Amino acid sequence: MKDFGSSPSPLDFGKGFTLDFDLKTGLSSSVDTGKRYLSQMRGMYQDEKALGALLAQGDKLVYEFHGLPAPDKPGDLAFGCSILYPGKVGNEYHMTKGHFHTILETAEVYYCLSGQGYMMMENPEGDWRALALEAGKAIYVPARYAHRSINVSPDKPLVTFFVFRADAGHDYGSIESKGYRKLLVEKDGQPTVIDNPRWA
């Protein structure tokens, strides 16, 4: 199918655009791509010994993300895709680092394209939830909530589409220094939420 009307330049946030969203070949040559390896997840997992043993076998890719370089101004939307690979460190599933937004009063929407997992969320006041993610489900992350994706599948990537206000920014530092109040671990073969013994 073809578009009608004027033909703006690629990624024209002022006039609109169509983007090839093909996960097999990548979103587009214009996206920002980031990758997180096990070595970059130090401090995120409780079992440092298990992490060290895994790193001795090689620095495995945990997740990657592909996002549009949207203008950092109110009114525009940033969006992209995250791919979180299966695996565990000790009894903790592979997860993203997680973040607040720099503009704390920012919500975000995630739509699960494939895989199974959870979105762990918490706000500064201590409220938390872990919402199930599976193909066809969308999750609304409210303003003021830190959020991280967790892949509970033993053999399939968790692939999500995300969108949020383009000027929101990301605050990873708060999570790196304090962690989350709750952890999602495998217990008796099932995902289970426990208190984080290191949370401060």
Q: What is the pLDDT of residues 158-180, one digit of tens each?
A: 999 999 999 999 999 888 888 89
Residue at 15 is within a domain: no
Residue at 14 is within a domain: no
Identify the residue whose tokens are 């969203």: 21
Phi, psi of 122 (to 5 degrees): -155, 150
Phi, psi of 49 (to 5 degrees): -65, -45
Phi, psi of 115 (to 5 degrees): 95, -175
Residue at 200 is within a domain: no
DSSP 39: G
Question: Please, which pLDDT band fits residue 9 given cuts at 50, 70 and 90?
Answer: low
Q: What share of the chain is helix, strand, coil (3-state, %, to 5)?
A: 10, 40, 50
pLDDT digits (tens, 9 = 90+) for 76-131: 898 999 999 999 999 999 999 999 999 999 999 999 999 999 999 999 999 999 99
Amino acid in the structure at residue 64: E
Q: What percent of the chain has pLDDT over 70?
A: 88
pLDDT digits (tens, 9 = 90+) for 54-64: 999 999 999 99
Residue at 106 is within a domain: yes
Sheet containing 190-195, strands listed edge to edge, beginning at the edge strand earlier in sequence: 88-89, 92-93, 182-187, 190-195
Q: Is 151 exposed, middle or buried (0-12, 13-18, 19+ CB in 10 A)?
A: buried
pLDDT of residue 111: 96
pLDDT of residue 176: 86
Structural domain containing residue 186:
32-195
Return the CATH number at 100: 2.60.120.10
pLDDT of residue 124: 94
pLDDT of residue 199: 80
pLDDT at 145 over 70: yes
Question: What residues contact 150, with CB distance under 8 A and at least 6 apart?
Answer: 84, 93, 94, 95, 96, 117, 118, 119, 120, 130, 158, 184, 191
pLDDT at 197 over 50: yes
Residue at 27 is within a domain: no
Phi, psi of 41 (to 5 degrees): -105, 15
Q: What percent of the chain has pLDDT over 90?
A: 68
Check residues 159 and 8 and name the one with the higher pLDDT. 159
Residue at 154 is within a domain: yes
Question: Please, which pLDDT band fits residue 8 given cuts at 50, 70 and 90?
Answer: low
Average pLDDT, the chain: 89
Residue at 13 is within a domain: no
Dihedral over Cα of 173, 178, 184, 186: its sign: positive
Q: How many domains does the chain have?
A: 1
